[in-house]
């Protein structure tokens, strides 16, 4: 799943190498910094459109994307936020199940069949909470100031994951409630970051930047898949929740500081 996501992100970036509006501008005028030394191009001519290689076009787009990212700190913040929000995919599909099954070894749950039933219930609770609150959160994400919305969303999910670590039974009412709110706060995180990213995105490199955004999200899942397993083996079943909680609260503090400096405001 993670590998396919990374491949999809790279494919999107490469696809928009040929489609971005900035390349049309490049083909119709001279860009001396990007023309190979052994080519002579007349100003206003279309000779470049015929002779320019795909590598030349990719270099133009890559430079333009890099300048865009450097132009505002909100873009690196959004890429980092995408990495964190995608961690939930690995948590729900892998570490949540391992956490529930660990209660079989401790005698809290009778057997693996009961553990699978409890796990299914928690997943249903998470998706139910997400579906019920998604329209409301989506509506208010268009109006909520990003410099407040982002830190609050990440801080709330961090508090929830810290609370999950102290649950004594995975089949309790509090576990189901926590699972529901994990889904809700995750969609808050996702919408807060994506709203900031999309509404300030230049139109001429929008496709390539979206590909980069998806790519960084899958990189976060890949890192958590690899490191989370080692941490789980050495620390315990609660460790993946602790990792996400620490990352969430750290990002909330970082986003709060940057937001206070006026760099996370929609324009």
Where is pLDDT greater, at 200 or 170? Answer: 170
Contact residues for 3 (Cβ-Cβ < 8 A; gap 6+): 222
Question: Which pLDDT tens digit goes with each residue over 69-125?
Answer: 888 888 999 999 999 999 998 998 889 999 999 898 888 888 898 999 999 999 999
pLDDT band, very low/low/confident/very high, at 38 (cuts 50, 70, 90): very low
Contact residues for 197 (Cβ-Cβ < 8 A; gap 6+): 74, 75, 78, 82, 209, 213
Long-range contacts of 134-143 (CB under 8 A, 24+ apart): 134/187, 137/184, 137/187, 137/188, 137/191, 138/191, 141/188, 141/191, 141/192, 141/195, 142/195
pLDDT of 34 higher than 50: no
- Per-residue burial over 221-250, b = 16 or more CB atoms within 10 Å of its CB, e = otherwise: bbebbeebeeebeeeebbbbbbbbbebbbe
Tell me how crowded residue 127 is: count the other CB atoms within 10 A of its CB: 14
Contact residues for 253 (Cβ-Cβ < 8 A; gap 6+): 151
| Domains observed in the chain | 2-70 (no CATH), 72-260 (1.20.1250.20)
């Amino acid at each position: 799943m993670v590998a396919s996501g990374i491949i999809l992100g790279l494919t999107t970036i490469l696809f928009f190498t040929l489609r971005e509006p900035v390349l049309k501008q490049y083909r119709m005028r001279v860009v001396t910094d990007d023309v190979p030394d052994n080519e002579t191009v007349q100003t206003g001519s279309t000779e470049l459109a015929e002779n320019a290689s795909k590598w030349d076009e990719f270099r133009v787009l890559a430079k333009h994307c890099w300048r865009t990212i450097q132009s505002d700190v909100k873009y690196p913040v959004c890429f980092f936020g995408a990495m964190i929000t995608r961690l939930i995919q690995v948590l729900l599909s892998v570490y949540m199940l391992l956490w529930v099954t660990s209660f079989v070894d401790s005698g809290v749950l009778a057997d693996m069949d009961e553990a699978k039933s409890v796990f299914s219930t928690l997943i249903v609770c998470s998706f139910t909470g997400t579906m019920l609150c998604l329209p409301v959160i989506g509506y208010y994400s268009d109006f909520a100031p990003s410099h407040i919305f982002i830190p609050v969303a990440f801080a709330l999910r961090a508090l929830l994951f810290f609370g999950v670590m102290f649950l004594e039974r995975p089949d309790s009412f509090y576990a189901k409630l926590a699972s529901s709110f994990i889904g809700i706060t995750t969609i808050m995180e996702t919408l807060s970051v994506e709203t900031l990213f999309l509404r300030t995105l230049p139109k001429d490199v929008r496709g390539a930047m979206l590909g980069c955004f998806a790519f960084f999200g899958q990189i976060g899942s890949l890192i958590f898949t690899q490191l989370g397993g080692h941490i789980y083996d050495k620390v315990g079943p609660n460790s993946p929740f602790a990792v996400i909680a620490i990352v969430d609260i750290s990002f909330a503090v970082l986003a709060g500081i940057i937001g206070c400096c006026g760099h996370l405001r929609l324009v």
